[in-house]
Amino acid sequence: MMLRVLFVLDPLPALNAYKDSSVAMMRALEARGHAVSVALQGDLFIQDGQVFASATPIALVPGADLHKKSWWTETGAATDTLLQNFGAVIMRKDPPFDMEYVYTTHMLEYAQSLGARVMNSGDAIRNHPEKLAITEFPEFTTPTLVTRDMERIKAFHSAHKDVIVKPLDGMGGTGIFRLSVNEPNLNAILETLTDNGNRTIMAQRYIPEIKDGDKRILLIGGEPVPFCLARIPLAGETRGNLAAGGRGVAQPLSERDWHIARAIAPKLAARGLLLVGLDVIGEYVTEINVTSPTCFVEITDQTGFDVAGRFVDALEAAVSKAV
């Protein structure tokens, strides 16, 4: 069964196609004979009780240099199309998770009620904020505090000595600070992150195993991918994020990784999350990424495991089940 698949994502020229997971998905879909269309978040609209996208059909250029901006071609004009007329709608818009993003998830959720097949589903994305979602699984997390109360954070820091603090809406390692036992800028950092007590943040006990990498474990269709990408920080850095200069090294899942992934994956898949990226440091889950999890290309290039192919398998199975 040939599917018309709509990607809701960032502008194509802004994607680094040579390493972008959404592009890897598109390539795998085309290899199976499916058709791809794209739309921006602002191209979605509701009119007369129906949800549409001004969607542009594209094709990937065979043999294109993915380091350049000529890897795709438009195969038709943008057309207003009901979301339920696509075989699947894949939500891949990167954060920030602002109110426009929230409105988009509501549109997608409404489209689902009308028969659209949206992955990840709008309500599931909205109900699983990527940092807060770990609090559902305290057995797999390091000691964690979520609050805007600076005195409470200071008490947490005093108890645990070495603490990571971060905003709830950051991505790529932005806004993350390590507060060691004698941090001279403690007050200034907390005042800035909490906006003087007006913004909620997260504090976690520091996990020294970060030196071995912040592992991205992919869950697809309720099953873990057997390889993760350990994002190893630069010397002197506490953030492993690739956007912060981390080095990505693919490796098999450890016994602990398998235990965590198999415990969490079925629960999230049952809620409409086809693709999830767990961030694991040492023994602990630090984030549950549901908006646009990445690392497909790095894992595939280093191990030969076809992550995008596994994703298309799961997508086809989900669509067949929904029909």
* Residue 131 annotated in active site: yes
Residue 285 three-state SS? strand
Please calculate the CA angle 208-209-211 and round it to the nearest 5 degrees. Answer: 90
Please tell me the distance from the alpha carbon of residue 58 to that of residue 80, in angstroms, as a whole number.
Answer: 15
- Catalytic residue among 231, 241, 257, 298, which? 231
- Catalytic residue among 287, 298, 310, 316, which? 287
- Catalytic residue among 279, 298, 310, 316, which? 279
* Residue 27 annotated in active site: no
* Residue 195 annotated in active site: no
CA 279 centroid distance within chain: 10
* Residue 196 annotated in active site: no
- Catalytic residue among 20, 123, 289, 316, which? 289
* Residue 148 annotated in active site: no
- Catalytic residue among 27, 215, 216, 310, which? 216
Residue with tokens 């390493």, as numbered in its chain: 19
- Catalytic residue among 117, 166, 205, 215, which? 166
Sign of the four-CA dihedral 136, 138, 142, 148: positive
189 burial level (CB within 10 Å; 0-12, 13-18, 19+):
middle
Q: Residue 302, Cβ neighbours under 10 Å: how many?
A: 14
Tell me what percent of the chain is helix, strand and coil, each rounded to the nearest 5. Answer: 35, 30, 35
Please tell me the distance from the alpha carbon of residue 61 to that of residue 11, in angstroms, as a whole number.
Answer: 17
* Residue 289 annotated in active site: yes
- Catalytic residue among 19, 92, 93, 239, which? 239
* End-to-end CA, the chain: 11
Please tell me the distance from the alpha carbon of residue 75 to that of residue 10, in angstroms, as a whole number.
Answer: 19
Supply the angle between the helices 296-303 and 21-31 in degrees, to the nearest 10: 70
Catalytic residues: 131, 166, 216, 231, 239, 279, 287, 289
